[in-house]
């Protein structure tokens, strides 16, 4: 059986890349996050990545840190994360992105089970190394959800083979050595990394970290199967004077990113 995410890639991959939008659960509030997710989808986002807000997000830059802090201040926990997942997954294929400790605390098998029960396709685990994954691999296999690992430019060839062979749904290629945030250009190493992954894996590849405008999205869509945008959406909400304004800005940004992504036909 394949997940909704795998089906999405299967149907679009030969035509174009997909656009994946990230938002932490409960940001800026639980209700408002649903409107933002809806706006992303209305604007052309193909899949949603819901962040599990965490107290010590070492892979995240200031924009996502601030959003996560706000969500945590709102009291967001596993329950709200799964509720948000349910909302998004009813509309488009959706995944959770979470640091490892909240999964371990929730119960590894239970997390995969609840994910599946809420319609989720998979989980991105940015700080779970393949060496520590035994329990997670068993849990995701047993509940038939995707485990999405991140690989970096510094990942050595043998390790790249090993990590990608355990990954399904898509492989998350980190475009640069660094944390999430806005960048003026997509790192040149991203293209090369995608080529290296292609040489060892058939699994779709999505590129994330620092993609924030239509030009960059189009560039990445030229060689990857998916484009992940997070900080740019969050900044649009943070900079708006009201929620209505923020929702409108998110929709506009999604439209522009989607146009960028779709400009690259196979």
Partner 1 sequence: MSATQLPDLLGHFGRFGGRFVPEALIGALDELSAAHQAALVDPLFIKELSELHRTYTGRPSIITEAKRFAEHAGGARIFLKREDLNHTGSHKINNVLGQALLTKRMGKKRIIAETGAGQHGVASATAAALMGLDCVVYMGEEDTKRQALNVVRMKLLGAEVVPVTQGSRTLKDATNEAMRDWVTNVETTHYMLGTVAGPHPFPVMVRDFHKIIGEEAREQMLALTGKLPDAVLACVGGGSNAIGIFHAFIPDASVRLIGLEAGGRGVETGFHAATITGGTRGVLHGTRSYVLQDQNGQTVESHSISAGLDYPGVGPEHAYLHDIGRAEYRAITDAEAMAAFSLLCKTEGIIPAIETAHALAGAMKIGQELGSGASLLINLSGRGDKDVHTAAEYFGMPV
- Smallest separation, CB 158 to partner 1 (Å): 11
| Whole-angstrom distance, CA of residue 59 vs CA of residue 57 | 6
Contact range with partner 1 by CB under 8 A, out of 6-14, 57-65, 218-226, 255-263: 57-65
- Smallest separation, CB 60 to partner 1 (Å): 8
- The 14-53 contact track toward partner 1, x by CB under 8 A, reads ----------------------------------------
Among 92, 163, 221, 254, indicate the residue that binds partner 1 (CB under 8 A). Answer: 163
136 is written with which tokens? Answer: 């997670």
| Residue 44 Ramachandran class (φ > 0 left, ψ -120 to 50 alpha, else beta) | left
Among 85, 139, 150, 227, indicate the residue that binds partner 1 (CB under 8 A). Answer: 150
First to last CA, the chain: 27
- Smallest separation, CB 30 to partner 1 (Å): 15
| Inter-residue contact 223 to 189 (CB < 8 Å) | no
- Whether 49 sits among the annotated catalytic residues: the reply is yes
C-alpha closest to that of 22 among 86, 72, 94: 94
Number of residues that bind partner 1 (CB under 8 A): 39
E strands in the chain: 18-24, 47-51, 94-97, 122-124, 146-148, 150-151, 171-174, 205-208, 226-229
Contact between 165 and partner 1 per CB under 8 A: no
Enumerate the β-bridge partners of residue 173: 151, 207
Secondary structure class of 4 (helix, strand, coil): helix
- Whether 60 sits among the annotated catalytic residues: the reply is yes
Determine if the peptide bond prior to 28 is cis (ω within 30°).
Answer: yes
Contact between 83 and partner 1 per CB under 8 A: no
Nearer to partner 1, 59 or 243 (CB): 59
- The 107-146 contact track toward partner 1, x by CB under 8 A, reads -------------------xxxx-xx--------------
Q: Which residues are catalytic?
A: 49, 60
Catalog residues that contact partner 1 under the rule CB under 8 A: 54-59, 61, 65, 69, 72, 77-78, 100-106, 126-129, 131-132, 149-156, 159, 163, 174, 177-179
């Amino acid at each position: 059986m394949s997940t909704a995410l795998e089906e999405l890639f299967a149907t679009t991959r030969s035509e174009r890349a997909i656009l994946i939008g990230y938002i932490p659960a409960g940001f800026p509030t639980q209700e408002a996050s649903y409107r933002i997710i809806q706006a992303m989808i209305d604007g052309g986002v193909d899949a949603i990545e819901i962040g599990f807000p965490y107290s010590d997000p070492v892979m995240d830059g200031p924009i996502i840190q601030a959003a996560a802090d706000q969500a945590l201040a709102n009291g967001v926990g596993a329950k709200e994360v799964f509720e948000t997942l349910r909302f998004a997954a009813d509309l488009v294929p959706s995944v959770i992105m979470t640091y490892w400790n909240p999964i371990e605390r929730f119960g590894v098998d239970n997390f995969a089970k609840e994910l599946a029960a809420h319609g989720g396709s998979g989980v991105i685990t940015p700080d779970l190394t393949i060496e520590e994954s035994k329990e997670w691999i068993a849990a995701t296999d047993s509940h038939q959800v995707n485990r999405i690992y991140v690989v970096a430019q510094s990942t050595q060839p043998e390790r790249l083979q090993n990590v990608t062979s355990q990954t399904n749904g898509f492989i998350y290629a980190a475009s640069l050595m660094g944390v999430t945030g806005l960048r003026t250009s997509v790192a040149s190493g991203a293209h090369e990394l995608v080529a290296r992954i292609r040489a060892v894996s058939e699994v779709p590849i999505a590129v994330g970290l620092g993609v924030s405008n239509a030009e960059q999205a189009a560039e990445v869509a030229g060689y990857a199967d998916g484009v992940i945008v997070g900080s740019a959406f969050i900044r649009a909400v943070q900079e708006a004077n009201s929620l209505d304004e923020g929702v409108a800005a998110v929709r506009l940004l999604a439209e522009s990113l989607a146009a960028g992504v779709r400009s690259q036909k196979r």
